[in-house]
């Protein structure tokens, strides 16, 4: 087992600034969080942006400005979310790629998402995948359920490998409507990777109280980690998360205990097949 790639997902589209005042919602706040998390050992940042009212937006200008600001301030790999919020139309989600990130997320199927539906039609997935191939943007395939891995196998068989040639997936576990955040579910997902190209890597994140079991299971299974306030705003019972750095610091200590210390961004670029040097 190699070193651990740590992704920070600092903001997301669902948590309100009022519910979590430490949530980074402005570009300046995102830059501060990114620098702190990089210094601790994160190598990838999964970005959702907010508007002036701290509401989720996919405004292209702001996405470009954010990408540039993070690149100026850090060596982190910039991964923009094409998932956005459940209310975002497909054309806005596709336009995210025009901001020119190193990576972008690509969710591999529709899933119930709390009381909502996170819609990812097959034709939309194909469009995202092929546009990323054309633009040299490396996807992170988001897997909310076991069947999403079968969809990924079908996608790669029909449309070929992603930009960079390496396949990296992220198990997003514990969403109400998706797979549970359990060791058993993670092991089932890992077993299904046997149907994907050799060398496929995975990270995992557990939403809410599944954060810790998923983190420990992923480390034990040779996987990588995603943590951040997109996925959890409670550090421990009755203890709100103080910052994204606090979550990254905890992930780093677990990774070190597992003797799989954090992977620097340059190594992460090589692993993921990202051509651009940070």
Binding site for ligand KMH (CB under 6 A): 12-14, 81-83, 85-86, 105, 107, 113, 118, 142
Residue (84 or 265) nearer to Zn ion, CB: 84
Q: For Zn ion, which residue has the nearest CB? A: 81
205 lies in the site for Zn ion, by CB under 5 A: no
**Residue ranges of the alpha helices (H) in the chain?**
27-40, 60-73, 90-95, 122-135, 147-159, 183-192, 211-220, 244-257, 265-272
- Which residues is 116 bridged to in the sheet? 113
Contact (CB, 8 A) for 29 and 70: no
Q: What token pair was written down for 97? A: 């790629």
Whether residue 48 contacts residue 81, with contact meaning beta carbons closer than 8 Å, is answered with yes
In this structure, are strands 224-227 and 77-80 parallel, antiparallel, or unpaired? unpaired
Q: Which of 67, 81, 232, 246 binds Zn ion (CB under 5 A)?
A: 81
CB of 200 to Zn ion, least distance (A): 20
Taking the complex as a whole, the smallest distance from the CB of residue 3 to Zn ion amounts, in Å, to 24
Check residue 262 and report its DSSP letter. B
Encoding tokens for residue 101? 């990130």
- Looking at the Cβ atoms of 67 and 81, the one nearer to Zn ion is 81
User: Across-strand partners of 204?
Assistant: 171, 225
Total residues at interface with Zn ion (CB under 5 A): 1
Please, what is the minimum distance in Å from the beta carbon of residue 2 to ligand KMH?
25
Query: What is the number of the residue whose Cβ is closest to ligand KMH?
Result: 83
Of the ranges 73-81, 174-182, 193-201, 209-217, which one interacts with Zn ion (CB under 5 A)?
73-81
Nearer to Zn ion, 3 or 244 (CB): 244
57 binds Zn ion (CB under 5 A): no
């Amino acid at each position: 087992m190699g070193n651990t790639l740590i992704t920070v997902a600092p903001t997301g589209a669902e948590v309100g600034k009022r519910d979590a005042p430490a949530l980074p919602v402005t570009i300046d706040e995102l830059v501060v969080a990114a620098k702190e998390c990089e210094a601790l050992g994160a190598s990838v940042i999964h970005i959702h942006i907010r508007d002036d009212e701290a509401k989720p937006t996919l405004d292209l200008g702001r996405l470009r400005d954010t990408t540039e600001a993070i690149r100026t301030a850090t060596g982190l790999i910039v991964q923009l979310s094409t998932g956005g919020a459940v209310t975002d139309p497909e054309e806005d989600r596709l336009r995210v790629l025009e901001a020119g990130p190193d990576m972008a997320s690509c969710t591999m199927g529709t899933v119930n998402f709390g009381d909502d539906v996170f819609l990812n039609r097959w034709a939309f997935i194909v469009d995202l995948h092929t546009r990323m191939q054309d633009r040299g943007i490396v996807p992170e395939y988001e897997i909310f359920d076991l069947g999403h891995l079968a969809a990924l196998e079908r996608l790669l068989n029909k449309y070929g490998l992603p930009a960079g040639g390496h396949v990296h997936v992220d198990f997003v576990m514990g969403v109400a409507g998706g797979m549970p955040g359990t060791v058993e579910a993670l092991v089932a997902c890992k077993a299904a990777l046997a149907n994907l190209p050799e060398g496929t890597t995975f990270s995992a994140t557990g939403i809410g109280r599944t954060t810790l079991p998923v983190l420990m299971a992923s480390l034990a299974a040779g996987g990588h980690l995603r943590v951040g306030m997109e996925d959890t705003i409670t550090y421990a019972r009755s203890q709100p998360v103080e910052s994204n750095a606090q979550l990254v610091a905890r992930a780093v200590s677990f990774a070190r205990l597992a003797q799989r210390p954090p992977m620097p961004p340059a190594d992460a670029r090589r692993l993921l097949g990202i051509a651009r040097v940070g």
